[in-house]
Amino acid sequence: MRLELGKIKIADVQFSEETKVENGTLYVNKQEIIDLVMEDDHIVKCVVELARPGESVRITPVKDVIEPRVKVEGPGGIFPGMINKVTTVGEGRTHTLNGAAVVTCGKIVGFQEGIIDMSGPGAELTPFSKLNNVCVVVEPKEGIEQHTYEKAARMAGLKVATYLGKAAIDVEPDEIVAYETKPLLEQVAEYPDLPKVGYVYMLQTQGLLHDTYVYGVDAKKIIPTVLYPTEIMDGAVLSGNCVSACDKNTSYHHLNNPIIEELYKKHGKEINFIGVIATNENVYLADKERSSNWSAKFAKYLGLDAVIISQEGFGNPDTDLIMNCKKIENEGVKTVIVTDEYAGRDGASQSLADADPKADAVVTGGNANEVIVLPPMDKVIGMLDYADKIAGGFDGSLRPDGSIEAEIQVITGATNELGFNKYSATTY
């Protein structure tokens, strides 16, 4: 499959009577977004606000972040199985509003939504402080169940991102980048002397509100499968989970997966990037065994020499991570795992809940238990009511002056396990 991403650079976002992209500015009709969101009768109120880099703005509780995109050429449409029909994507051309995002937030669904600060020390720990954000704050109808509210909020974000993406359909991109992965035998034959490398993509699927979607299917219902990397870049994998904000993969992360980007950069030069094995993270031991067995089977079947394995979440998924690592290594395939750590506020505790001697090549996104003080902001988009309750917060986290003392676990993307962050750690 060959996919072209037409990147349209967005340097500012403004409200306007017409939604359009002009001279690097995304102009947004607020009322049209509200009307679109309010089509769902599970939502009783929608507020749309803008947040730009450097502003004294705090967005919380954050549910998802989505990059606006539109399919320009090729089969299918953006966000297949959710917004558009279930057509295989990953070919043709897709335009992306590079530098803009839709951020959904509102009353808490679980307890693991997050915070995005647009300035200050918290802004340094989240990539989303660098974006021009269209924030969609949704208030659910009284009494609806959490999973119903999560779906309403998730679909609101995807609909708004689709609406904004259409503004770029006829805009000339500032940059066009092409990515290509050929059918397996062709791909192997093209670079026979380079090591064959794959990517095992672990998706969070551990129970209610821990959902990731592949072509609209909750990934807890799938067995591991093989995807072209370009399918992921074209919206085949989307977030629907409410897990700790620091290492949650938002939809933006899936669309802009940096591991896939880096593998493509080295493709044909240092490695032969064969493809992606998408797998899930499970609750029951039998399911963990099944999925890790299949991941190892695919790694061998594809003839891989090495794989990168990325995790989502922490604690229980550490077992899935180590199972994947150990079993793939047992097939003679070298592994590198990408994770983060929960090593206590002093960094002295065991970083992962599971371990194995074969997991000897590790990249970490940092220690999520590290404590930070987020200063008060001039403006809050959403609400601060839940600062003491979200994962990483504690009784008294929200101070009277509006500042927040909490673990960096509360910051969306702070220790992301795709490496989409600034933190890491080294051994000496």
pLDDT tens, 188-234?
Answer: 999 999 999 999 999 999 877 889 999 999 999 999 999 999 999 99
pLDDT at 79 over 90: yes
Whether 101 and 65 have beta carbons less than 8 Å apart is answered as yes
325 is catalytic: no
Instruction: Determine the Cα–Cα distance for residues 265 and 258; give it in Å rounded to an integer.
Output: 10
Q: For the chain, which residues make up each domain, given as ranges? A: 2-410
* The pairing of beta strand 306-310 with beta strand 196-203: parallel
Q: Distance (Å, rounded) from C-alpha 427 to C-alpha 18?
A: 53
Q: Which of 46, 105, 242, 325 is catalytic?
A: 242
> Which range among 239-248, 350-359, 370-379, 391-400 has the greatest average pLDDT?
370-379
User: How far is 415 from 244, CA to CA, in rounded Å?
Assistant: 10
Given pLDDT bands bounded at 50, 70 and 90, which one contains residue 121? very high
What's the rounded mean pLDDT across residues 303-332? 96
The confidence score (pLDDT) of residue 209 equals: 81
Give the torsion through C-alpha atoms of 30, 71, 234, 194, to 10 deg: -140
pLDDT (average), residues 274-283: 96
Does 166 have pLDDT greater than 70?
yes
Residue 316 has a pLDDT of 87
Rounded distance between C-alpha atoms, residue 120 and residue 232, angstroms: 32
Mean pLDDT of 369-389: 94
Separation between Cα atoms, residue 141 and residue 160, nearest integer Å = 20
Whether residue 269 has pLDDT greater than 60: yes
58 CB contacts (<8 Å, ≥6 apart)? 115, 116, 117, 118, 122, 374, 377, 379, 380, 381, 382, 384
- Map tokens 């880096």 to a residue: 262
Q: How confident is the model at residue 427 (pLDDT cuts 50, 70, 90)?
A: low
Predicted local distance difference test score (pLDDT) of residue 426: 67
Q: What is the mean pLDDT of residues 375-392?
A: 92
- Alpha-carbon distance of 28 to 18, in angstroms, equals 6
* pLDDT > 60? residue 293: yes
Report, in angstroms and rounded to the nearest whole number, the Rg of the chain calculated over CA atoms.
21
Top pLDDT among 352 and 124 is at 124
Please tell me the distance from the alpha carbon of residue 124 to that of residue 122, in angstroms, as a whole number. 5
pLDDT band at 109 (very low <50, low <70, confident <90, very high): confident
Q: Tell me what the pLDDT averaged over the chain comes to.
A: 94
